[in-house]
Amino acid sequence: LEEGGALSHVEDHALAVPHGDRSGAVIEPWLTDQWYVDAARLAGPALDAVRAGRTRFVPSQYEKTFFAWLDDIQPWCISRQLWWGHRIPAWYGPDGAIFVAEDEAGALRQACEHYGRAVDLAQDEDVLDTWFSSALWPFSTLGWPDAGWLSQRCPNDALVTGFDIIFFWVARMMMMGLHLTGEVPFRDVYMHALVRDERGAKMSKSLGNVLDPLDFIDGIGLDALVAKRTGSLTDRKDVARVAQATKRDYPAGIDRFGADALRFTLAVLAVQGRDVKMAVGRVDGYRSFATKLWNASRFAEINGCVRVAGYAPREAREVLNRWIVGEAERAASAVATAIEAYRFNEAADAAYRFVWGVLCDWSLELAKPLLQGAEGQEAEDRRDETRATVAHVLDEAYRLLHPFMPFLTEELWTIKGREGPPRASLLALASWSEPAGLRDDEAEREVGWVIDLVSAVRSVRTEMNVPAGSQVPLLVVGSDRAVAERAARWGDTLKRMARLASIEAVAEAPRLSAQLPVRDSLIALPLEGLIDVAAERARLIKDIAKQRGEAGKIGAKLGNADFLARAKPEVVEEQQERLRETQERLGRLELALSRLGDGG
C-alpha cells in the first residue's frame, strides 16, 4: 500500500489478547470439529417427568428454573479441548471414517468389518464435557449397565443439591436416566440454601469473607484466621482491607464449637428458598444447647434415672409423667413430619423447643420434688416411676436430635446404655419413635396450667420491675373448686418457681394488682408496696410511644417503593426483622400496661 501510494496513515493499536487465568498462556480462537448431542430430543421426557410429578422439586419454585432451561434448550456441545476428562469414545480410520464404541476393541471390530481388514485407528483427542460425565454419575456408581442391579437402587428417593446447577447437573442426569433406562434417577430434588456470611454477602476469596467449617469445629486464632483469609490475595490494598475486616469481626478469632453445634445451626437456618447467613453467635448459642442436653443427662444420672426393662409409658400414673411422655410423642411426630417435607429448619426447631423448652426448663424442674422428696413407700414408688420416665424421655430426646447432632447423642446414648438393659444397637441404627397414642389431655391441662401460670408471673415480675428477691402473694380470682385444688396441689412448686409468698383464693382482684388470665382462671398479683404503680405506668406509656414511633419509621421505609427497588435484599430483610422485633416489644409493653388494671 505504501509503495503504491495508497496508504493514508498508520495508527498504533493495542491488541487485547486473552490469556488463561491459570496458565497465563495466550488463548487463540481456533475453529475445530465438535461433537454435539440433540438435547431437545433428550429434554422432552425429562420435562414430561416433572410435569407428571414423577420427579418433584423442593421448593416447587425451582420447577420454573428447570422448565426455563429445558423448554428453550439448544444443541449440546459435549467435546472439550482439555488435558483431563473422559476421552470421547470415537475412533478415526485411515480415510477419516468414524467408529463409536464402548472401548477400542469394539471400534477395531467395527473398522475390520468396514474395511475388510485390520487397520490402525486414532481416538479423538477431545474429552467429554464435565457435565456430560457428571450426568453419568448414577450409572457409574450404581452398577450400570447391569440393569437388574441398577433397578434395585434407582430411582433414588432424593437428590440434594444447589439451585445453581439445576440445568448443568440435575437436568442432565434426568435426561441420561430416562434415555438409558426409561426411569427417572430420583423422585425428589431438594434445593439447599446457599451459605453466606453474616451480612448476607456471598463468600468469596477475593472479599476475604470465606468461613471454613473446620474453623468452627476446631477453632482458630485471630492471626491464623487473618493469614488464611489473606493468603491468596496479591494486591496489598486487598490484604490490608481483609485483615482489618477480619480483626473487626473476629477480634478473638473463632472459638471451638464442635461439629454438632455447627450442624444444628445450619439445619435451623435452612429455611426453604432462603439463603443461610452464617453468624458465629448462632453457632455459640447452639453449643450452649448441646451443653444443656449434656447437663440434663448428668442430672438424670445423679438422680438415679436409669432405663428399666419393660417400662411402659402408657402405664405411668403420675400426672407429670403422663404429660411428658405425651409431649415427647408430639415432638417426635412434629420432627418426623417436618423432615419428610424437607423442612429441616422446622424439624430442628421442634426438637430444640422440646428438649430445651419442655424437657429441661419444665419437666426436669417439676420432677425435682418427686426425685428428691419425702420418704415412704408411696413416695418411693412415685420416685421410681419418675426415674424410669426421665430415662425414657431422654432416650426419645436423643432420637429426635440424632439427625442434627449425631456425635453428642451417640455418646450420651452409649453412656446411658452402661446401666439398665443392654442397648439393642447404636443410636444411628435404632428405630425412630412410632406414635402410640400417649397424649393425655387431662395431664396437659393440669401441667400446662402450672407452666402458663409460672411463665405469666415471671413475665410480670420482669415487665413491672418487681425486685428479684421479693416474694409476692398470688391470688386465684373467682375460680372454681377444681382450679383452687390444682393450685393447692402444686403450691410448693409454684412458690419455689415463681417466688411466691402465698397462694389464696379470692372473689375479686384487689386494687393496684396485675391481672393475668391463665387458661380457665384469673390470677392477680398485688403490687401495692412492691412498686410505684404510677411511676411504672408512666414509664410504660413513654416506652410504648417510643416503640410506636420506631415501628412507624421502619414501616414507612418498608412501604416506600423506591427504597424496596434500590435496597439490597439483605438490607430489606434486616429492616423487616427490626420491625418484627419492635412490634414484639410493643406488644409486651402494651400487655404490661393493661395488666396494671384500673387502679393504676
Per-residue pLDDT tens digits for 220-261: 999 999 999 888 888 888 889 889 988 988 999 999 999 999
pLDDT tens for each residue of 179-228: 988 889 899 999 988 888 887 888 888 788 888 999 999 999 999 999 99
More confident residue, 586 or 366: 366
How far, in Å, CA of 418 to CA of 422, rounded?
7
pLDDT tens for each residue of 494-512: 999 999 999 888 888 787 7
pLDDT at 599: 45
Q: Is the peptide bond before 145 cis (omega within 30 degrees of 0)?
A: yes
pLDDT tens for each residue of 529-579: 776 677 777 877 888 888 889 888 888 888 888 888 888 777 888 888 888
Cell of residue 2, nine digits: 505504501
Which of 103, 111, 187, 115 is closest to 145 using CA atoms?
103
Q: How far is CA 443 from the centre of its chain?
A: 32
How far, in Å, CA of 108 to CA of 118, rounded?
7
**In this prediction, what percent of the chain has a pLDDT beyond 70?**
98
How far, in Å, CA of 162 to CA of 384, rounded?
51
**What pTM did the predictor assign?**
0.80
CB atoms within 10 A of CB 198: 16
The confidence band for 121, taking pLDDT boundaries of 50, 70 and 90, is very high
Q: Is the predicted pLDDT of residue 597 greater than 70, yes or no?
A: no
Least confident of 40-44, 270-274, 437-441: 270-274
pLDDT at 600: 39
Mean pLDDT value across the chain = 89
Q: Classify the C-alpha dihedral 340-344-348-350 as positive or negative.
A: negative
pLDDT at 149: 62
pLDDT tens for each residue of 171-187: 999 999 899 888 898 99
What region, left, alpha or beta, does residue 11 occupy, with left being phi > 0 and alpha being psi -120 to 50 degrees?
Answer: beta
pLDDT at 510: 81
How far, in Å, CA of 348 to CA of 402, rounded?
10
Task: Kindly state the average pLDDT of the residues 372-376.
Answer: 76
Return the DSSP state at 376: S
Task: Kindly state the average pLDDT of the residues 418-441.
Answer: 90
Which of 422, 446, 532 is closest to 494 using CA atoms?
446
pLDDT tens for each residue of 280-334: 888 999 999 999 999 999 999 999 999 999 899 999 999 999 999 999 999 999 9
- Is the CB of residue 100 less than 8 Å from the CB of residue 125? no
pLDDT at 150: 67
pLDDT at 148: 66
pLDDT tens for each residue of 91-111: 999 999 999 998 999 999 999
Task: Kindly state the average pLDDT of the residues 518-537.
Answer: 78
